[in-house]
Chains A and B, each alone.
Chain A
Amino acid sequence: MQMDLRTVSIQPLRQTYDPVARRFGDKPASRYQEGTYDIQSTANFHYRPTWDPDHEIFDTARTRIVMSDWYAFKDPRQFYYGAYTLARAKQQDAAEANLGFVENHGLVANLDAGLRDRAIALLLPLRHVAWGANLNGASVCAYGYGTAFTQPFIFQAMDHLAIAQYLTRIGLLLGAEETLDKAKESWLADDAWQGLRRYVEDTFVLKDPFELFIAQDVALDGLLYPLVFDTIVNGVFAAEGGTPIALTTQFMTDWFKETRRWADATVKTAATESPENRALIEKWVGHWRDRAAAALQPVAQIAVGDKADALIAEQVEQFNARLAKAGVKV
């Protein structure tokens, strides 16, 4: 039934849902706020998980980080499902255009064969790193506490799946199906990759969701993305005529720039909560940074040979400066 309604202005009884009003006052709220604050259960759980009887379904005790309010975390991008999906749809349009451009203009055929081989050797095993990151994103989302903290991790998980899939397409563009198989063999057996594979597999068994966030999203992604995509692909490869490769990985470059802001905000919020949190985070960041830097050294070598040490040192320095801004000294 559709009636003819005159436009009238009527006075609302309230502006938003109670949990949002309790936090920010009863005023018009954003979709991020209404879709995020206090929507996860915190009280009166009925049963303990049969898979983890020592904890409630959602339990602050799964991590050693202590927060008086887990909704102190805020995603600077204000991503809820809709905002996230629209942002990524736009980026995938651009990625599609870039891949199409490289493909349609036959740009790969003009690449220097040596450069192409190095690019394949460097980029393709990273499919598996991204796949591992997908698993870790799911872990933090499943076992973390509070929607403000956990929600970004389902986005991280799916972003990493997308990156693994983009890398697959790039592999097929640069090589063939066998190229993917060979890269997987390298990932499984070549010395150069074993440090990184061990790192990734070790993160799979981390039980503390916040430590996992540090190991995966802060330390590993924080060194790997700027090193591989900014410094090597956009810098070294592009200078050697590899601009088409840089076009195909633009998604990763943009993605890291964006997600880094969220990771920094998350670190900062937890670290400023208490000296205990800060000390714990500093310990974790230091430990996983050192391991990640060591694991990435032979990987960088594939692409830049003996310049690897210098590049890694530079990355670590930038990483430390970045973390210092987020309130963490390492």
Chain B
Amino acid sequence: MDMKTSSGKKLGLKEKYRHMTRGLDWETTYQKREDVFPYVAYEGIKIHDWDKWEDPFRLTMDSYWKYQAEKERKLYAIIDAYAQNNGHLNVTDARYLNAIKLFLTGISPLEYMAHRGFTHAGRAFPGSGPRVACLMQALDELRHAQTQIHSLSNYNKYYNGFHDPAHMLQRVWYLSVPRSFFDDAVTAGPFEFMVAIGFSFEYVLTNLLFVPFVSGAAYNGDMGTMTFGFSAQSDEARHMTLGLEIIKFILEQDPDNVPIVQRWIDKWTWRGYRVLTLVGMMMDYMLPKRIMSWKEAWEVYFEQNGGALFKDLSRYGIRPPKWLDQISFDKDHISHQAWATFYQYGAIADFHTWSPTEDELDWLSSKYPDSFDKYYRPRLDYWREQAEQGNRFYNKTLPQLCQTCQIPMVFTEPGDPTKICYREVDYQGEKFHFCSDGCKEIFENEPEKFKQSWLPANQIYQGNCFPDGTDPTVEGFDPVSKVLEYYNIQAGRDNLDFDGSEDQKNFAKWRGMATSNE
């Protein structure tokens, strides 16, 4: 967009943008500022001059529409072609589909939450710079939710487990992990939301989410997922800039903001890291063709890149997040502990699990020389033998969940992978349980919030996870089948082992048709 005034004077980029955003704003006088922006003060963050905000991307709406429409055109053309050509039959192996089920149920509905969360944050901030940046991101996040739903729509037509992602997110036991993460962010104040999602998630941890899924898709012949992934990444560049800008802006405004922000960085790095356990498991166990191990990804994308970032932030008095020692020790363990959990609870999950092949076990041994053979391989070998003899193991006892991250208590003590880590806190006469020091401290900082957690295992025991009108007192009542019904998991189709599943049979049959001449 070239812009001149009537006298022919050309305006510089900065002046132009100033008129397009800052110049629009005014101080209200008929209504008090604190009534117009009621949510901006209660977190204790002090902002003296909203005009110090550096607009990270000076994008006007007309350019936004133009760029984005170009991307949409390309993306939907590929989605259509992929569907038309039965592109799903190109994936390496039907087990791969379970990785994208995890994405569609665990991530896509959160994109939607991000859409609403950024809308709320944009509405809450009195400064025009952050408002415009947040609202643009809010619009992008709606894009992400919808392009993912549309891209994966074709998989839903042919495979199980894709059929009801938003419903499952609100109910299925393990999905309360990503869901509570986002509920936590959205129910926080607007500044904490921005530090949680804009900075910690979009800036610090985003590569650990997107690279595994997008490269995983590319490696495994899934053009559909790869395409929406890359298309979303082009928005991510803007989002990351916003995440970094918000943190610098808050820190520069007042030294009193530093300890508040530090606590948020500690909290959200830990919260985010716990959610990423699911991604670690996906990378190490669910991609038939692996990209790199979880441990390698953590080292590259967090330890190296994050290290540089926190060095940069130290000039504001910010130190690296707490509990990094434990995270560093845990990187040899958590993906294995998570897969073992999903393997055992495969009867109540919406995707399939399986015994890794001998090759895959060898790969894990080589990637995790200090832990896999010693602690995890023997159990997987045993389960595989049992499964081969027709005794596929399913755990029927519900696990205890961490009050904060909501992951079953399966993680081990820092420094001792043979001992499950338990922490507890007494609050208002009640006992609360935690998986780690991190989760415990997060609770202690905000007990009024975290005592509210909707813990799926507890809710099942309290009878809150049956379909309406269920009578648990009837003769022969089968709670598991009723819980599955409440989850909308189709028993025998969505759940259980991959071996013998409908997905496995259909994929083999269809691929056979497509590659032979019969």
Stretch of B45-53, B141-149, B300-308, B352-360 contacting A (4+ beta carbons < 8 Å): B141-149
A162 & B6 in contact (Cβ 8 Å cutoff): no
Q: Does B278 contact A (CB under 8 A)?
A: no
When distances are taken between beta carbons in the complex, the residues of chain A under 8 Å from B39 are 51
Contact check: which of A34, A39, A139 meets B109 at CB < 8 Å?
A39
When distances are taken between beta carbons in the complex, the residues of chain B under 8 Å from A176 are 5-7, 9
A165 & B60 in contact (Cβ 8 Å cutoff): yes
B187 & A139 in contact (Cβ 8 Å cutoff): no
A38 & B187 in contact (Cβ 8 Å cutoff): no
Q: Does A318 contact B (CB under 8 A)?
A: no
Interface residues on B, range: 35 or more
8 Å CB interface, B10-50 against A: 11, 15, 19-20, 23-26, 28-31, 35-36, 38-39, 42
Q: Chain B's nearest CB lies how many Å from the CB of A103?
A: 7
Q: Does A19 contact B (CB under 8 A)?
A: yes
Q: Does B290 contact A (CB under 8 A)?
A: no
Stretch of B160-168, B240-248, B361-369, B386-394 contacting A (4+ beta carbons < 8 Å): B160-168
When distances are taken between beta carbons in the complex, the residues of chain A under 8 Å from B189 are 50-51
When distances are taken between beta carbons in the complex, the residues of chain B under 8 Å from A44 are 170-171, 454, 459
B142 & A81 in contact (Cβ 8 Å cutoff): yes
8 Å CB interface, B77-129 against A: 85-86, 89-90, 92, 109, 112-113, 115-116, 119-120, 122-124, 128
Contact check: which of B66, B119, B513 meets A138 at CB < 8 Å?
B119
Q: Chain A's nearest CB lies how many Å from the CB of B126?
A: 10
Stretch of A201-209, A229-237, A261-269, A286-294 contacting B (4+ beta carbons < 8 Å): A201-209
Interface centre among B9, B20, B176, B516 (most CB of A within 10 A): B20
Interface residues on A, range: 35 or more
Q: Does B297 contact A (CB under 8 A)?
A: no
Q: Does B396 contact A (CB under 8 A)?
A: no
B62 & A164 in contact (Cβ 8 Å cutoff): no
Q: Does A131 contact B (CB under 8 A)?
A: yes
Per-residue CB contact flags for chain B residues 158-186 toward chain A (1 = under 8 Å, else 0) read 11101111110111000010011001101
Q: Chain A's nearest CB lies how many Å from the CB of B291?
A: 14
Give complex CA distance A203, B6 in Å: 35
* Residue of chain A at shortest CB distance from B63: A92
Give complex CA distance A172, B9 in Å: 10
B135 & A46 in contact (Cβ 8 Å cutoff): no
Stretch of A180-188, A214-222, A274-282, A299-307 contacting B (4+ beta carbons < 8 Å): A180-188
A85 & B68 in contact (Cβ 8 Å cutoff): yes
When distances are taken between beta carbons in the complex, the residues of chain B under 8 Å from A76 are none
When distances are taken between beta carbons in the complex, the residues of chain A under 8 Å from B29 are 188, 201
* Residue of chain A at shortest CB distance from B221: A1
Q: Does B377 contact A (CB under 8 A)?
A: no
Q: Does A240 contact B (CB under 8 A)?
A: no
Give complex CA distance A193, B143 in Å: 38
When distances are taken between beta carbons in the complex, the residues of chain B under 8 Å from A92 are 61-62, 65-66
When distances are taken between beta carbons in the complex, the residues of chain A under 8 Å from B515 are 3-6
Contact check: which of B86, B156, B450 meets A17 at CB < 8 Å?
B156
Contact check: which of B132, B166, B449 meets A47 at CB < 8 Å?
B449
B36 & A46 in contact (Cβ 8 Å cutoff): no
Given contacts A46-B176, A85-B69, A96-B62, contact A16 B153 (CB under 8 A): yes
Q: Chain B's nearest CB lies how many Å from the CB of A37?
A: 9
Q: Does B1 contact A (CB under 8 A)?
A: yes
Q: Does A82 contact B (CB under 8 A)?
A: yes
Q: Does B315 contact A (CB under 8 A)?
A: no
8 Å CB interface, B188-238 against A: 188-190, 221
When distances are taken between beta carbons in the complex, the residues of chain B under 8 Å from A34 are 149-150, 153
When distances are taken between beta carbons in the complex, the residues of chain A under 8 Å from B179 are 41, 46
When distances are taken between beta carbons in the complex, the residues of chain A under 8 Å from B138 are 138, 141, 154
Interface centre among B139, B145, B190 (most CB of A within 10 A): B139
When distances are taken between beta carbons in the complex, the residues of chain B under 8 Å from A47 are 180, 183-184, 187, 449-450, 452-453
A165 & B20 in contact (Cβ 8 Å cutoff): yes
Please give 20 more A-B residue pairs, beta carbons under 8 A apart, in addition to A38-B166, A96-B62. Answer: A3-B90, A5-B515, A10-B86, A17-B163, A18-B163, A34-B153, A40-B166, A48-B452, A85-B65, A89-B70, A90-B69, A128-B26, A138-B135, A154-B115, A162-B60, A172-B4, A173-B4, A177-B19, A201-B31, A205-B36
> 26 A–B contact pairs at CB < 8 A?
A1-B221, A13-B157, A17-B156, A34-B153, A35-B149, A38-B167, A41-B179, A45-B454, A46-B454, A51-B189, A57-B183, A82-B72, A82-B143, A82-B147, A85-B65, A92-B61, A128-B26, A130-B24, A131-B128, A139-B123, A141-B138, A142-B119, A165-B61, A168-B20, A172-B11, A176-B5
A residues touching B (Cβ–Cβ < 8 Å)? 1-8, 10, 12-19, 31, 34-35, 38-51, 57-58, 80-82, 85-86, 88-90, 92-93, 95-96, 103, 108-109, 127-128, 130-131, 134-135, 138-139, 141-143, 147, 150-151, 154, 157-159, 161-162, 164-166, 168-169, 172-177, 180, 184, 187-188, 197-198, 201-202, 204-205
B residues touching A (Cβ–Cβ < 8 Å)? 1, 3-7, 9, 11, 15, 19-20, 23-26, 28-31, 35-36, 38-39, 42, 60-62, 64-66, 68-70, 72-73, 76, 85-86, 89-90, 92, 109, 112-113, 115-116, 119-120, 122-124, 128, 131-132, 135-136, 138-139, 142-143, 145-147, 149-150, 153, 156-160, 162-167, 169-171, 176, 179-180, 183-184, 186-190, 221, 449-450, 452-454, 459, 488, 506, 510, 513-517
